[in-house]
Copies of this chain bind each other. A is one copy, B any other.
Amino acid sequence: MPYKYITEVRGYELDSFGHVNNAVYLNYNEQARWNILKESGFLEAFLKSGMFLVVVETNIRYMRELKMFDSIEVITSLKHEAPYLIFYQEIFNKTTNVKASKAKTKTLLINSERVTQDLPPELISIIK
């Protein structure tokens, strides 16, 4: 079942073309990932132990512009391809009813010494 994160485009996120800058789409996707970690109870454990998910690759297709006050929903599905945890993320613009972007982000769990860790079994179990 995909995770959903809802937010709204802020005025300072627009660039000189009056639309959301391409790098900001990655910010939205990142925040959606933080939310999944929080909701699934892993965030606190990760922060305490110094472990974190590092992004090793992102592929993003920009399909539509986003404008100030657009209400957006980041829809995320996860997949485990050891050692990677992969996030498939679509940004859906609820104001205009169109898909704004589609991204695949490959992450690795590493510890505070930057050594790759196996994903905790409990984290794998939340991935369908």
The residue in chain B whose Cβ has the minimal distance to the Cβ of A104 is B59
With contact pairs A22-B58, A55-B22, A60-B57 given, residues A12 and B38 touching in the complex (Cβ less than 8 Å): no
Q: Are B17's CB and A52's CB within 8 A? A: yes
A46–B59 alpha-carbon span in the complex (Å):
27
Residues 10-60 of A at the B interface (beta carbon under 8 Å): 10-12, 14-18, 21-24, 26-27, 30-31, 34, 38, 52, 54-60
A26–B60 alpha-carbon span in the complex (Å):
12
Q: Are B23's CB and A30's CB within 8 A? A: yes
A74 to B: closest C-beta gap in Å: 12
A102–B23 alpha-carbon span in the complex (Å):
16
A15–B69 alpha-carbon span in the complex (Å):
15
A18–B18 alpha-carbon span in the complex (Å):
9
Q: Are A16's CB and B23's CB within 8 A? A: no
A6 to B: closest C-beta gap in Å: 11
